[in-house]
Amino acid sequence: MPSNIRYARTAENHGFEYALTQIRFTASYGAANQHESVTFSQALLHHTERIKVIAAILPGPWNPAVAAKQIASIDNYTNGRIAVNIVSGWFKGEFTALGEWWLEHAERYRRSNEFIRCLKGIWTAGDEGFTFGGDFYRFRNYQLAPKPLQKPHPEIFQGGNSDDARNNGAEVSDWYFMNGNDLDGFRDQVEDVKARARKVGREQEVRFAVNGFVIVRDSEEEAIQVLQEIQGKADKEAVSAFHDAVQQAGASTSNKTGMWANSKFKDLVQYNDGFKTKLIGTKEQIADRILLLKSLGVNLILTAFLHYDEEIERFGKEVLPLVRQLESEGRGKVAEEEIQRTGAVYGH
Ligand SMILES: Cc1cc2nc3c(=O)[nH]c(=O)nc-3n(C[C@H](O)[C@H](O)[C@H](O)COP(=O)(O)O)c2cc1C
| 241-284 confidence digits (pLDDT tens) | 777 777 666 566 666 666 666 677 667 666 678 899 999 999 99
Here the CATH number for the domain that contains residue 226 is: 3.20.20.30
pLDDT digits (tens, 9 = 90+) for 292-339: 999 999 999 999 999 999 999 999 999 999 999 999 999 999 999 999
Q: Which residue's CA lies nearest to atom 9 of ligand 1?
A: 23
Please report the atom of ligand 1 found closest to the CA of residue 178: 31
How many CB atoms within 10 Å of residue 200? 13
Q: What is the mean pLDDT of residues 229-246?
A: 76
**Cα-to-centroid distance, 167 and ligand 1 (Å):** 15
Q: Are the CB atoms for 266 and 275 separated by under 8 Å?
A: yes
Q: How many whole angstroms separate alpha carbon 106 and alpha carbon 290?
A: 33
Pocket around ligand 1 at a 6 A CB cut-off: 22-24, 56, 58, 85, 87-90, 159-162, 164-165, 177, 179, 211, 249, 253, 258-259, 272, 302
Mutation test residue for ligand 1: of 26, 86, 87, 254, the one with most atoms within 8 Å of CB: 87
Mutation test residue for ligand 1: of 85, 208, 213, 303, the one with most atoms within 8 Å of CB: 85
**Cα-to-centroid distance, 201 and ligand 1 (Å):** 25
Q: Which residue's CA lies nearest to atom 29 of ligand 1?
A: 159
Please count the structural domains in the chain. 1
| Residue 233 pLDDT greater than 80, yes or no | no
Q: How far is CA 142 from CA 122, 127, 139, 227, in A?
A: 7, 10, 6, 51
The boundaries of the domain holding residue 245 are 2-346
